[in-house]
Amino acid sequence: MSSKPYHYVRFTWLRKVDLEKMAVELGEKFRVEHRTLPSSETEFSLFKDEREGLKVTADTLSAFLYPMKAVLYQREAAPFTPKDLELRRIVLERYPRSRPTPLPWSFSVEPKFEKVEGD
């Protein structure tokens, strides 16, 4: 078992995910909360105007979802349950890119994770 909690960032590149539709869909199986990131007038960020997002929680896995970026994470390292695996699958399908840009730099590799035994 990895001693580090799972943390993985995914992107859509230029296509935006419809968060309201996602909230309805994911709300049937997961805990969904709306959230807004703080910002300032002097901040420089490509995603400055996209602060509205969702926090989606399964069993041990959670996700922060924004129009073009998703962050899958665990607070404490733990094997993924079937519900965690379903959330991971949905997020990876909707956010299919591991790099923040189509250009060939700055990529992330999905960390290894374990599944609950018997699943």
Within a domain: residue 111? Answer: no
Total domains in the chain come to 1
Within a domain: residue 2? Answer: no
Q: Name the one residue in this structure whose structure tokens are 């700055």.
A: 106
Within a domain: residue 106? Answer: no
CB distance 107 to 42 below 8 Å:
no
**pLDDT value for 41:** 63
**pLDDT value for 102:** 75
Within a domain: residue 112? Answer: no
Enter the pTM of the model.
0.84
Domain residues for the domain of 56 are: 7-37+49-94
- Terminus-to-terminus CA distance in the chain, angstroms? 16
Going by C-alpha positions, the residue among 74, 56, 75, 73 that lies closest to residue 65 is 56
CB distance 56 to 29 below 8 Å:
no
Q: What is the pLDDT along the chain (119 residues), one digit of tens a residue?
A: 557 999 999 999 888 999 999 999 999 999 999 987 655 566 555 555 566 899 999 999 999 999 999 999 999 999 999 999 999 999 999 999 988 777 777 777 899 999 998 75
**pLDDT value for 78:** 96
**pLDDT value for 108:** 78
**pLDDT value for 3:** 78
**pLDDT value for 107:** 73
Within a domain: residue 21? Answer: yes
Contacts with 109 (C-beta within 8 Å, 6 or more apart), sequence order:
98
Within a domain: residue 44? Answer: no
Within a domain: residue 61? Answer: yes
